[in-house]
Chains A and B, each alone.
Chain A
């Protein structure tokens, strides 16, 4: 490494260390550690949930106990971690004082507002100016929601999950678990039993949501699991673009995050879901970091479209497969992903496209970057069911290796049960081209700058799918996350 100084850095980015590692000192209302039927009842009671929801949680909990007894924690992913002690986790943590809901932003704990400040969330007027509505999830309880009124005029509901349970129980009851049932998988079952809060959005028929809905997640209480549940329903002909961005404070112990996201796109509707995931990846030596075990799935009815875009740079472990069930005829599913694993990070991520309806179409573009001692696996399934006449899938997954201590893996599952389907799968694995590096360095770029430029260009097919603000942040994230990997 010769020209390190030519890279301009933000002053607080010493050596590419985690930028957002601070801890907010807020008194927390903690339930005792561990998981039991009582804890599930406690969570439900704290949130004043109706009986049917408690029953649903309990069914999930009992199912999870069976799965746990049958050792059904998934083992097929290419990730390696010490077993999770599910009895050593806090399943409920709410910022104190929120049992009396804040009446205005002035009532919100100033220290918490400062946290959002550091995160750069445009929470107050800036939110409106930036055209962004934020449902800020601080640990488990939503503390403030902006622009609710403007959206309300269009009939759009955008609120915390708990509020939705109180104010729109029929919608929640109708769609909760309809895409990811509580029996779906080990982590989704756990989430169904203990989910704390999350976001809910409903776009009425024919309405195009005029702004990008946005939510920030933070994991703040040491040793607390975070179990969000997000449900987005786009009614017939509706459109919504939803942004999810995540940063978590610096933590030494590993933290479990098992979220569930359900998307429902009814006939002719479109949902665009974008994620930047930048949770604490652990130290350079692989200590700590977030365990991100997430179930994300959408159902697309006739002529509907669901598009997942993700930039995954954080977490010690990422286990995540945003999927689309192409149930209706002519429905469309898309998955665009950049996943980066540096230092000791492990990412096993990809998608599932399940073609059920006729003339369904799916596109998968996955870019995996491995650096340091990181391991990055693309795992994606394309399933063509017998009735999916003329289904089309195109998959492209490329892997890039930066350094000789990392790993890049590709595991596609292509399952075809209809002869009229057309499927194409292409993949490549390589390192950054020496010729391209030489060309850029001959023109005065440092090795690191050249790498960054090549990698950004290589990821462009995915980055360009992100909403504008996110695209900028994503480019910056890739740069910061890769610092120190070259030279």
Chain B
């Protein structure tokens, strides 16, 4: 591979990689070689700062990330009270707490539930638990993608969740990734590996919270394996502070007759990306990827959602909703690929946006790539302000304009909020939304009848 210019920001991470590699001399050989390969991929790619002709990064400018400086190898602490105050919490849940990339047993709340292994990734690696050697880095780490390569090059600790064959868990499992309170700007690579056995069933909540006030860089990577007949209900809550960079990646491999349903709730970070790819790798697999994003100020939220139908008879549904205010910018880039043999596929794709201010921008790119003929695929996208007629109706009944707008915004979000079923989680996202709406409204513009 010849490169016209030096890959961006590689040297920034190089010293940290070298010192991390020498600190992890005791790691198993397979892991060392995984890190090495990933580092060589990253050092060829660099950060994706070039946007012209780069379809994956056409709308999100990573120059601020490339220009920022981070300290490495600094970890902080967090208290349980701080975590409970910032993340959804229910004592009945099994909750794994990871602070600055490291598992913390004393902060976690684990009940020893039968059929569930939940805890430290580094321990799982050391003990060779389950399929960790075959699975880790096999979905996210082999690809030519800067952030999975970077994360894989720095693989260390994180969370490991395995559900035994046939186990149907009654209560959700939550993994909370915490960035600790620390004024240094740091880079962290939170990692989660989920191994859902055949015919198992789990509700999985992935939460990202940030206790720091300074700009942090987090590149979380989640790999999920769903064996035959497994059913996974996944929630993703992203609550980074508004000066941070959050470049998240989730990769899911689904076997036959599996169901993966995910709803994401994204309100945090200065620049955030939620990059999800599901591979429907056996007949009868279905996946649902939904989400709500809200942006204000100068925030950027980028939803990079893709599904590959590799085998016949699978179905997928992508549906995202966005509420934008201030001078914020959101991106929805949905992709459905139906491969040659994947006949009888069904795919839906939708992105609806509410633009509340003149400075906000939404870029939607719902794309379909279809190589099989017996397919039903449809997609749609809309963008606009709150409906003037409805607003007028509410105002004519004595509701003032701000309150009427708040009702309409809340109504727009409701459909997604309702998908958050566990009670404590539902309360959490509703509370955050209710607190966020006045912020969005304060930065909105009144759209008169022209």
Partners in one complex: yes
In the complex, residue of chain A having the shortest beta-carbon distance to the beta carbon of B360? A419
Contact flag A418-B370 (CB < 8 Å), given A71-B4, A430-B377 = no
Return chain A residues, CB-CB under 8 Å to B36.
Answer: none
CA distance A358 to B450 in the complex (A): 10
Asked whether, in the complex, the Cβ of A419 is within 8 Å of the Cβ of B369, the reply is no
CA distance A403 to B343 in the complex (A): 12
Asked whether, in the complex, the Cβ of B4 is within 8 Å of the Cβ of A70, the reply is yes
Q: Rank and list the top 5 A-B pairs by shortest CB-CB distance, nearest first.
A: A419-B355, A401-B373, A419-B385, A414-B364, A431-B373
In the complex, residue of chain A having the shortest beta-carbon distance to the beta carbon of B379? A427
Of the A-B pairs whose beta carbons lie under 8 Å apart in the complex, a sample of 27, sorted by A's number, is A70-B4, A71-B4, A75-B53, A76-B55, A359-B450, A386-B358, A404-B340, A406-B373, A407-B369, A407-B370, A411-B365, A412-B365, A412-B381, A413-B363, A413-B365, A414-B363, A414-B381, A416-B361, A419-B360, A419-B384, A420-B385, A425-B364, A425-B366, A426-B378, A428-B377, A428-B378, A429-B377
Asked whether, in the complex, the Cβ of A74 is within 8 Å of the Cβ of B53, the reply is yes
Asked whether, in the complex, the Cβ of A409 is within 8 Å of the Cβ of B53, the reply is no
Partner of A411, one of B343, B367, B371, B377: B367
Return chain B residues, CB-CB under 8 Å to A421.
Answer: 355, 383-384
Return chain A residues, CB-CB under 8 Å to B343.
Answer: 404
Asked whether, in the complex, the Cβ of A431 is within 8 Å of the Cβ of B356, the reply is no
Asked whether, in the complex, the Cβ of B368 is within 8 Å of the Cβ of A430, the reply is no
In the complex, residue of chain B having the shortest beta-carbon distance to the beta carbon of A404? B373
Asked whether, in the complex, the Cβ of B365 is within 8 Å of the Cβ of A414, the reply is yes
Return chain B residues, CB-CB under 8 Å to A424.
Answer: 380, 382
A402 close to B (CB within 8 Å): yes
A88 close to B (CB within 8 Å): no
In the complex, residue of chain B having the shortest beta-carbon distance to the beta carbon of A415? B363
Over the window 201-212 of chain B, the binary record of Cβ atoms lying under 8 Å from chain A Cβ atoms (1 yes, 0 no) is: 000000000000
Asked whether, in the complex, the Cβ of A431 is within 8 Å of the Cβ of B384, the reply is no
CA distance A146 to B55 in the complex (A): 46
In the complex, residue of chain A having the shortest beta-carbon distance to the beta carbon of B376? A430
Return chain B residues, CB-CB under 8 Å to A425.
Answer: 364, 366, 379-382
A278 close to B (CB within 8 Å): no
CA distance A411 to B366 in the complex (A): 7
A410 close to B (CB within 8 Å): yes
Over the window 315-352 of chain A, the binary record of Cβ atoms lying under 8 Å from chain B Cβ atoms (1 yes, 0 no) is: 00000000000000000000000000000000000000
Could you list which residues of chain A lie within 8 angstroms of chain B, going by C-beta atoms? 70-72, 74-76, 78, 358-359, 386, 389-390, 399, 401-431
CA distance A399 to B359 in the complex (A): 35
Contact flag A416-B355 (CB < 8 Å), given A390-B450, A399-B370, A409-B368 = yes
Return chain B residues, CB-CB under 8 Å to A358.
Answer: 450
* B353, B381, B445: residue with the most chain A Cβ atoms closer than 10 Å: B381
Asked whether, in the complex, the Cβ of A416 is within 8 Å of the Cβ of B377, the reply is no
Return chain A residues, CB-CB under 8 Å to B372.
Answer: 401, 404
Return chain A residues, CB-CB under 8 Å to B31.
Answer: none
Contact flag A418-B358 (CB < 8 Å), given A408-B370, A409-B368 = yes
Min Cβ gap A396→B in Å is 10
Asked whether, in the complex, the Cβ of B358 is within 8 Å of the Cβ of A419, the reply is yes
Return chain A residues, CB-CB under 8 Å to B55.
Answer: 76
Asked whether, in the complex, the Cβ of A429 is within 8 Å of the Cβ of B375, the reply is yes
In the complex, residue of chain B having the shortest beta-carbon distance to the beta carbon of A418? B358
CA distance A406 to B369 in the complex (A): 11
Asked whether, in the complex, the Cβ of B377 is within 8 Å of the Cβ of A412, the reply is no
Interface residues of B in 369-405 (CB under 8 A from A): 369-385
CA distance A1 to B108 in the complex (A): 67
Contact flag A416-B373 (CB < 8 Å), given A71-B4, A410-B367, A425-B366 = no
Asked whether, in the complex, the Cβ of A402 is within 8 Å of the Cβ of B373, the reply is yes
Over the window 395-437 of chain B, the binary record of Cβ atoms lying under 8 Å from chain A Cβ atoms (1 yes, 0 no) is: 0000000000000000000000000000000000000000000
CA distance A423 to B53 in the complex (A): 25
Return chain B residues, CB-CB under 8 Å to A70.
Answer: 4
CA distance A407 to B336 in the complex (A): 13
B362 close to A (CB within 8 Å): yes
Return chain B residues, CB-CB under 8 Å to A420.
Answer: 384-385, 447, 450
B357 close to A (CB within 8 Å): yes
Return chain A residues, CB-CB under 8 Å to B373.
Answer: 401-404, 406, 431
Min Cβ gap B204→A in Å is 32
Contact flag A389-B375 (CB < 8 Å), given A412-B367, A414-B365 = no
Min Cβ gap B112→A in Å is 49
Given contacts A71-B4, A76-B53, 6 further A-B contacts (CB under 8 A): A411-B367, A421-B383, A425-B364, A425-B379, A429-B375, A431-B375
Asked whether, in the complex, the Cβ of A423 is within 8 Å of the Cβ of B377, the reply is no
Min Cβ gap B41→A in Å is 20
Asked whether, in the complex, the Cβ of A416 is within 8 Å of the Cβ of B370, the reply is no
CA distance A74 to B369 in the complex (A): 19
Min Cβ gap A99→B in Å is 42
CA distance A26 to B358 in the complex (A): 61
Interface residues of B in 188-208 (CB under 8 A from A): none
Return chain A residues, CB-CB under 8 Å to B385.
Answer: 419-420
Partner of A416, one of B4, B362, B368: B362
* A72, A359, A416, A431: residue with the most chain B Cβ atoms closer than 10 Å: A416
Asked whether, in the complex, the Cβ of B367 is within 8 Å of the Cβ of A430, the reply is no
Min Cβ gap A193→B in Å is 21
CA distance A283 to B373 in the complex (A): 23
CA distance A64 to B228 in the complex (A): 55
Contact flag A416-B366 (CB < 8 Å), given A403-B373, A404-B372, A426-B378 = no
In the complex, residue of chain B having the shortest beta-carbon distance to the beta carbon of A416? B383
CA distance A74 to B53 in the complex (A): 7
CA distance A370 to B44 in the complex (A): 37
Contact flag A404-B374 (CB < 8 Å), given A410-B368, A425-B366 = yes
Over the window 54-66 of chain B, the binary record of Cβ atoms lying under 8 Å from chain A Cβ atoms (1 yes, 0 no) is: 0100100000000
CA distance A5 to B342 in the complex (A): 34
Partner of A414, one of B360, B376, B383: B383
* B58, B340, B353, B384: residue with the most chain A Cβ atoms closer than 10 Å: B384
Partner of B368, one of A386, A423, A429: A429
Return chain B residues, CB-CB under 8 Å to A399.
Answer: 368, 370
CA distance A76 to B361 in the complex (A): 23
Contact flag A409-B369 (CB < 8 Å), given A75-B53, A416-B362 = yes
CA distance A405 to B341 in the complex (A): 9
Min Cβ gap A471→B in Å is 28
Contact flag A416-B353 (CB < 8 Å), given A76-B55, A409-B368 = yes
Return chain A residues, CB-CB under 8 Å to B356.
Answer: 419
Return chain B residues, CB-CB under 8 Å to A76.
Answer: 53, 55
CA distance A285 to B415 in the complex (A): 51
Min Cβ gap A422→B in Å is 5
